[in-house]
Amino acid sequence: MSYTEEVYARVVEKNPGEAEFHQAVKEVLATIKPVIDANEAEYRKMAILERLVEPERIVSFRIPWVDDQGQVQVNKGYRVQFNSAIGPYKGGLRFHPSVNQSILKFLGFEQIFKNSLTGLPIGGGKGGADFDPKGKSDGEVMRFCQSFMTELSKYIGADQDVPAGDIGVGAREIGFLYGQYKRITGQYEGVLTGKGLTFGGSLIRTQATGYGLVYLVNEMLEHHKKPIQGKTIVVSGSGNVAIYAVEKAHQLGGKVVGMSDSNGYIHDPNGINLDVVKEIKEVRRGRIKEYVEKVPSATYTEGKGIWSIPCDIALPCATQNELTLEDAKQLKANNCFCVAEGANMPTTLDATEFIQENGILFLPGKAANAGGVATSALEMTQNSMRLSWTEQEVDEKLHQIMKDIFVKCDDAAKRYGMEGNYVAGANIAGFEKVINAMKAQGIV
């Protein structure tokens, strides 16, 4: 058995039941194998891979809070501090009923390589809770966030671990979390990113993941001489990442015809009216099906199936494993030529394989959604300098970072004879920097 296969087998054995974590490790180890094989004796002796797949620390904790009826509720919270070789732990917090240790470990593991690719000094981490913000009052969300932060505050800090948003954690939650951190510690510091603009947030952070995704898609398509203008696009989800992916796609001349939420999807052949989506989702926290009440040209379908809408470009921006092999076959049958992951690991492994084998251009989430965390790192920089850059400055920096990420992925793939395989390129380029830093810092 090769070193990568041995380590993968051990990960499965030592982390039973953690299917998402196994999946993320499997993909990375399979694609960095040529790098490992070239340095096998040294890496084995230093147990490089064994250290890479083991989080530096995981904390899990009880979160008691009182709901609007006076009933005490208890949730479970976590922070996975995966790897600090290149900077303080950095990564989002997810509040969703499905949250468990496996999901947060997969997300934390992915974050190591993503953050490395940004070129900025940030390590990998992720956290969250099995709390469902849906249907909760603002008061309930605030009390939950305060209880969550009361415990989490012991483990984070501006130079230690800097959380941000993810599914179910947006500006409202970050505000409540920040207020409680400040109250407990007395520190007005850049300990969270995605903050409001009046208390240390960065312009463009809200838009950054979606914008960055489309910047990278555009970069790749220009490289392959297939401009985004006039292309039909489907974007799953209708949260933070999806909304700003649609906005940037429209600005660059694409036409988005489908969006979704966990209940179903809309198809609007005239092109999605994003103002209507924003009003439903950002203002009223409503459901995507309400779109058809405002826009008669659109149809709503309950359940899964968004990938059956014919498109040139598919941008999964909702959640892990939402695009399956069957979906990939459907996309291929409809002549889709590009899939780029706005979400983390939205494409199953067999679907990714099918997509790549069938000549569909594919950008993995580690590269494609890195604009969010990159802009978070720019927020950290501004907080440390105690100043705020303009919208244009941040947007230009984001755009340049995404261009650089494309070059890194493209170069790394070429170096190992896998031109056009951006999954391998992203994993190898991300891995090389982290390993270099780990080796230099001794056995830690």
Task: Give the residue with the Cβ less far from ligand 2IT, 33 or 90.
Answer: 90
Single out the catalytic residue among 33, 105, 114, 126.
126
Does residue 268 touch ligand NDP according to CB under 6 A? no
| 27 φ, ψ (degrees, to nearest 5) | -65, -45
- What helix, strand, coil percent values describe the chain, rounded to 5? 50, 15, 35
CA–CA distance, 404 with 436 (Å, rounded to integer):
19
Longest dimension (CA), the chain: 64
What minimum distance in Å lies between the beta carbon of 147 and ligand 2IT? 22
- Which does residue 90 bind out of ligand 2IT, ligand NDP, none, counting CB within 5 to 8 angstroms by kind? ligand 2IT
- Per-residue burial over 299-335, b = 16 or more CB atoms within 10 Å of its CB, e = otherwise: ebbeebebbbbbbbbbbbbbbbbbbbbebbebbbebe
What residues form DSSP beta bridges with 127?
Answer: 79, 93
The single-letter DSSP state of residue 193 is: S
Instruction: With contacts defined by CB under 6 A, name the span among 46-54, 172-180, 328-336, 339-347 that binds ligand NDP.
Output: 339-347
Q: Which of 55, 87, 254, 372 binds ligand NDP (CB under 6 A)?
A: 372
DSSP assignment letter at 284: S
Q: Does 348 contact ligand NDP by CB under 6 A? A: no
Under a CB-based contact definition with an 8 Å cutoff, are residues 146 and 176 in contact? yes
Burial class of residue 28 in the structure, from the number of CB atoms within 10 Å of its CB (0-12 exposed, 13-18 middle, 19+ buried): buried
Task: Report the residue number, 4 or 375, with the smaller CB distance to ligand NDP.
Answer: 375
C-alpha pair distances (Å), 27 with each of 128, 133, 349, 366, 443: 24, 31, 8, 12, 25
Report the alpha-carbon distance of residue 25 to residue 10 in Å, rounded.
Answer: 11
Binding site partner of 193, from ligand NDP, ligand 2IT, none, Cβ cut-off 5-8 A by kind: ligand 2IT
Among 3, 13, 15, CA closest to 40: 3
Task: Establish if 90 lies at the interface with ligand 2IT (CB under 6 A).
Answer: yes
Task: Kindly write out the interface string for residues 286-325 of this chain, putting x where it contacts ligand NDP by CB under 6 A and - elsewhere.
Answer: -------------------------------xxx--x---
Residue 189's closest CA among 163, 217, 221? Answer: 163
Closest listed residue to residue 23, CA positions, set 324, 434, 345: 345
Write each residue from 118 to 157 as x if it is in contact with ligand NDP (CB under 6 A), else as -, in one continuous string.
----------------------------------------
Which part of the chain contacts ligand NDP (CB under 6 A), choosing from 53-61, 257-265, 406-414, 425-433? 257-265
Binding status of residue 261 toward ligand NDP by CB under 6 A: yes
* Binding partner at 238 among ligand 2IT, ligand NDP, none, C-beta below 5 to 8 Å by kind: ligand NDP
Per-residue contact flags (x/-) with ligand 2IT for residues 369 to 388, judged by CB under 6 A:
x--xx--x------------
Interface segment toward ligand 2IT; rule CB under 6 A; list 41-49, 87-95, 212-220, 291-299: 87-95
Q: Distance from first CA to last CA of the chain, Å, rounded?
A: 27
* Closer residue to ligand 2IT in complex, CB, 75/369: 369
Which of 5-13, 84-92, 146-154, 298-306 is the region at the interface with ligand 2IT (rule: CB under 6 A)?
84-92
Q: Does 216 bind ligand 2IT (CB under 6 A)?
A: no
- Judge whether 294 counts as a catalytic residue: no
d(CA 297, CA 101): 43
Q: How far apart are CA 293 and CA 64, in angstroms?
A: 39
**Residues between 305 and 344 with contacts to ligand 2IT, criterion CB under 6 A:** 344
- Decide whether 104 or 336 has the Cβ nearer to ligand 2IT: 104
Which residue ranges make up the site for ligand NDP (CB under 6 A)? 165-168, 170, 209, 237-242, 261-263, 317-319, 322, 342-344, 369, 372
The catalytic residues are 126
Which residue ranges make up the site for ligand 2IT (CB under 6 A)? 90-92, 114, 164, 166, 193, 344, 369, 372-373, 376
